[in-house]
A and B are shown apart, each in its own frame.
Chain A
Amino acid sequence: MAETDAVNDDLLHQSIKRKKSSGKERQKAQAMVTSFLNNHLPPRYRISNENYLQVIQKSITLENKGITKIQKAKKKRCNITPYREKHREKLHCSLELSQRFDDYMPLHNLWVDYMSCLLNIQKRSTTSTCSLSKEYTQKLLKADYHGCWITVTRSRCPSYIGISGIVLQETKNALTLIAPSNKVKCIPKTNNIFTFKIGDLVFTLYGNQFRYRSTDRAARKFKLKSTIDL
């Protein structure tokens, strides 16, 4: 290819130089030049036999199919982004929808141990529950709910009511539960009221007031608010 290109280039120059050369040669050269240009120029510069001289007078850079140094550098740089995206994908991974409920019982047992230890349930005798409630709310706000057996008791959407399962994942606006029927369900926190039970105590979580990331809750300071909704 390179050799023929060189020859064509020569012809092109010659044809421009010898405008007054003989007709046959000129026609030959014209045909060659046009075919060459049509092969190598981008489509918008495609030309016919008549206007080829006009086009030639413009300066057009022919495509170089080899990789230049700049392109090489760009390629190297490009390699970084997909890797980062991959990493990010992994970060925001969601759970698969085919799980077995029984596998998660150990997680639940672990959580029960953790929670009863956190709330000191065994030490507390059944005295005034009102004094305890303030202490508990602060603790519950900073507690972790992965592995908790939770039930939706009240909701604006009636189909959510009665769903119960083990919490697998907690995000800002939703809880992912696994139900005993081996189904993974994603339940929004808004307008839902959840309950869970430890020993004899039953706690209720108001979803609307609970709409923080589970990691943010640990560091945040909360104000007590009264609720009117629902």
Chain B
Amino acid sequence: MAATTKQLNIPNKEISHRINFMYQAAHTALTCGKSQEEANQLCRIYVRSLRKIAKKLVLRLDPNIKRTLCKKCDLLLIPGITSTIRHSSKREKHVILKCKDCATTKRFLSRSTNVLFTENPKVVVS
């Protein structure tokens, strides 16, 4: 969310700045702490407050950020550390991202025609 501040007049600039910071803080929080469990707890605190802020101010999180957060336990999903990533072609071909802590799965279609709405040139208003 507004990690690159090209335009000068961004509404809620400070808030987006803050959300950006919290997202990075969650990343660093995962690396510290005695055990993985404790690190996860701190990470959850940051992600949760990030979500709350975005919800309060009715800001939409960028899909690239949203897809790395666990829906259920608010953990940052990093493949290999807090989540597993698998490719499945049982139904339609898709990628399964599974949280290691609460075993919630996210599925993303791997269609070649799929475009995120933020990357779609028709949606973006110049």
Write the residues of chain A forming the contact surface with B, with a CB cutoff of 8 angstroms: 87, 90-91, 93, 95-96, 98-100, 103-104, 106-107, 110-111, 114, 117-118, 139, 142-144, 146-147, 168-169, 214-216, 218-219
Is the CB–CB distance between A218 and B21 below 8 Å?
no
Is the CB–CB distance between B25 and A95 below 8 Å?
no
Cα–Cα, bound, A107→B29 (Å): 7
CB distance from B12 to the nearest CB of A (A): 9
Residue of A nearest to B57 (CB): A219
Cα–Cα, bound, A38→B57 (Å): 67
CB distance from B47 to the nearest CB of A (A): 11
Residues of A within 8 Å of B41, CB to CB, are 93, 95-96
Is the CB–CB distance between B29 and A90 below 8 Å?
no
* Contact bitstring B68-92, A, C-beta under 8 A = 1, else 0: 0000111000000000000000000
5 pairs from A and B in contact (CB 8 Å cutoff): A93-B44, A96-B38, A100-B33, A142-B18, A169-B45
Write the residues of chain B forming the contact surface with A, with a CB cutoff of 8 angstroms: 14-15, 17-18, 21-22, 24-25, 28-29, 31-34, 38, 41-42, 44-46, 48-49, 52-53, 56-57, 72-74
Is the CB–CB distance between A95 and B42 below 8 Å?
yes
Residue of A nearest to B72 (CB): A87
